Structure 1
Amino acid sequence: MGIKEAKKIIMETFANTARRLGQSELVGYIYGALFLSGRPMSLGEIAEITGYSLSHVSSAMRVLEGVGLVQRVKKPGDRKAYFIATKNFSEWRSSAFYEKILRDIDETRENLLRALKELEHEKGSEVEEIKKKLEIALKRNEVARKLLTLIMQFRSEEELLHVLEKCSK
C-alpha cells in the first residue's frame, strides 16, 4: 500500500494548501494529480482521478490556469485540451500566485492602518492595548512583504537555496 498511501498523502497536502489559500480543495486535488502524473492529462482523466464531476473540474481548472499553476497544452492531432502542472520555481514566481499573496499582504496593511486611524482620538487602556497589537501586526506584515518580495527575486529554487545555505553557515 506504500505508493498508494504516499499519493493520497500528497493529494491531501495540496488540497489542504488550497483550502488555506481560500480555494476549493478540488483545486489542490487537481494540482496534486497533475504533479504526480508527469504527463499531460485531459479534463476527463482528472475528473476520474479526483472523483469530481467534469464541470467541477473544468471550473477549478480555470482557477489554476488563472494563477499560473497549470498550463494548457495541445497534442498534435487531438482536439482535447490537456494540462500539466508547473513545477519549476521560476514558473510559480512569475505566476499570479505570488501577486495574490502580495495583494493580500497589502490589503491587510491598509486595514490595519485604517483601524489605527479610527483609534487616533480615542483614550483608555483598552485603546492602548489594541494600538500595541496593531503595531505588532503591522511590523509582521512588513516582514512578510519583504520576505516574499525577496523570494520572488530569485531566478530558480536552486539559487534561493544556495543563498539561504550560505547565510545559515
Structure 2
Amino acid sequence: MGVEEAKRIVMKSFANTARRFGQSELLGYIYGALFFSDEPLSLAEIAEITGYSLSHVSSAMKVLEGVGLVQRVKKPGDRKAYFVATKSFGEWRSAAFYSRLLRDVEETRENLLRALKELEGEEEKDAERIREKLEKALRRNETARKLLAFLMRFRDEEELLKALERCLEG
C-alpha cells in the first residue's frame, strides 16, 4: 500500500497546485499519471488512470502541452499519440515555454511603450498618474525579461541551482 499511497499523495498535491492556479484539478492528475509512468501513455490510458472522460483528458492535455509540462511522442508503427511528462528543467526549457514567455514579455513592452507615446504632451493629472504606472510596469517587464534570459542560459537544473545559490549568497 505504501507505493500507491505515495503516488496518491503526490498526484493530489499536483491537483491542488493546478486548482490554486485557477485550473482544473485534472491537469494535476494527468501530470501525476505521466510523472510516475515509466512509459509514454495514450489518452485512453490516462483517462483510465485518472477516471476522467477521454474528451476531458484530451482538452486538459492541450493546456499541459501549451505550457510545456507534457510532450507528445510517437511510438514506431503506432498512429496513436502518446504523452510523457516533462521531468527536468532542461526538457521544460526546451519545450518552447520560455520562448513564448519571452515573446509575451516583449509584446507587453512594446505595448507599454506605445501607450507611453500616446501620453506625450499630455499634462493633466490623470495622464501623469497613468504615465507613472506605465513606467513602473516597464521596470517590472525589464526585470521579467532579465530573469527569463538568466533562466534560459542553463541546460540543467543542477547548473541553475548552483547559479541561484551563488546569487543568494552574494
Category of TM-score, reference length = shorter chain:
0.7 to 0.9
Counterpart in 1 of 2:17? Answer: 13
Counterpart in 1 of 2:71? Answer: 71
Counterpart in 2 of 1:82? Answer: 82
Residue 120 of structure 1 deviates from its aligned partner by 0.9
Pair 1:126–1:87, CA change in 2 (3 A): same
Counterpart in 2 of 1:166? Answer: 166
CA contact (8 A) 1:68 1:96 kept: yes
Counterpart in 2 of 1:130? Answer: 130
Pair 1:103–1:62, CA change in 2 (3 A): same
Counterpart in 2 of 1:151? Answer: 151
Residue 131 of structure 1 deviates from its aligned partner by 0.8
List aligned pairs for 1:27-38, cutoff 5 A: 27-38=27-38
For structure 1, the 5+ residue unaligned runs are: none
The amino acid across from 1:39 in the alignment is E
Q: Following the alignment from structure 1 to structure 2, what is the Cα–Cα distance between the partners of residues 115 and 25?
A: 38
Residue 135 of structure 1 deviates from its aligned partner by 0.7
- Bigger mean CA deviation after superposition, 145-154 or 6-15: 6-15
CA contact (8 A) 2:15 2:25 kept: no
For structure 2, the 5+ residue unaligned runs are: none
Counterpart in 2 of 1:54? Answer: 54
Per-residue CA distance 1:115-164 (angstroms, 9 max, x = gap): 11111121122211211111111011011001101101111110011112
TM norm structure 1: 0.79
CA contact (8 A) 1:112 1:138 kept: yes
Counterpart in 2 of 1:93? Answer: 93
CA contact (8 A) 1:7 1:36 kept: no
Residue 108 of structure 1 deviates from its aligned partner by 1.4
Q: Following the alignment from structure 2 to structure 1, what is the Cα–Cα distance between the partners of residues 77 and 108?
A: 48
Q: Following the alignment from structure 1 to structure 2, what is the Cα–Cα distance between the partners of residues 114 and 77?
A: 52
Counterpart in 2 of 1:42? Answer: 42
- Bigger mean CA deviation after superposition, 64-73 or 43-52: 64-73
The amino acid across from 2:16 in the alignment is E
Q: Following the alignment from structure 1 to structure 2, what is the Cα–Cα distance between the partners of residues 134 and 79?
A: 50
Q: Following the alignment from structure 1 to structure 2, what is the Cα–Cα distance between the partners of residues 29 and 59?
A: 14
The amino acid across from 2:116 in the alignment is L
CA contact (8 A) 1:27 1:64 kept: yes
Residue 57 of structure 1 deviates from its aligned partner by 2.1
Pair 1:18–1:49, CA change in 2 (3 A): farther
Q: Following the alignment from structure 1 to structure 2, what is the Cα–Cα distance between the partners of residues 131 and 77?
A: 59
TM norm structure 2: 0.79
Per-residue CA distance 1:68-124 (angstroms, 9 max, x = gap): 432334557766443211112111111121111112211211221121111112112
